[in-house]
Amino acid sequence: MSIKLHGAALSPFVRKTRVALAEKGLAFESVHVDPFSSPAEYSALNPLRRIPAMEDGDKVLADSGVICAYLEKAYPEPPLYPADAYEYGRALWLEKYADYEVAPQATFGVFRNRIVMKLAGKPCDEEKVQKALTEKLPPLFDYLETQIEGRDWFAGDAFSIADIAVATQCVNLQHGGEQVDPARWPALAAHIAKVHQRPSFARLIERESQFVAKVRGE
Domain hosting 14: range is: 3-74
Q: Count the domains in the chain.
A: 2
Specify the CATH number for the domain of residue 100.
Answer: 1.20.1050.10
The reply to whether 80 falls in a domain is: no
Residue 172 confidence (pLDDT) above 70: yes
Residue 1 confidence (pLDDT) above 70: no
Residue 25 confidence (pLDDT) above 70: yes
The reply to whether 137 falls in a domain is: yes
The pLDDT value given to residue 217: 80
CA–CA distance, 164 with 102 (Å, rounded to integer):
13
Kindly state whether residues 32 and 126 are assigned to the same domain: no
Kindly state whether residues 94 and 162 are assigned to the same domain: yes
Q: What is the 3-state secondary structure (H, E, C) of the chain?
A: CCEEEEECCCCHHHHHHHHHHHHCCCCCEEEECCCCCCCHHHHHCCCCCCCCEEEECCEEEECHHHHHHHHHHHCCCCCCCCCCHHHHHHHHHHHHHHHHHHHHHHHHHHHHHHHHHHHCCCCCCHHHHHHHHHHHHHHHHHHHHHHHCCCCCCCCCCCCHHHHHHHHHHHHHHHCCCCCCCCCCHHHHHHHHHHHCCHHHHHHHHHHHHHHHHHHCC
The pLDDT value given to residue 37: 85
Mean pLDDT in residue range 85-112: 98
Specify the CATH number for the domain of residue 59.
Answer: 3.40.30.10
Residue 134 confidence (pLDDT) above 70: yes
- Domain stop point among 13, 45, 74: 74
Mean pLDDT in residue range 17-33: 98
pTM: 0.96
Give per-residue pLDDT as tens, 46-84: 999 999 999 999 999 999 999 999 999 999 999 999 999
The reply to whether 79 falls in a domain is: no
The pLDDT value given to residue 20: 99
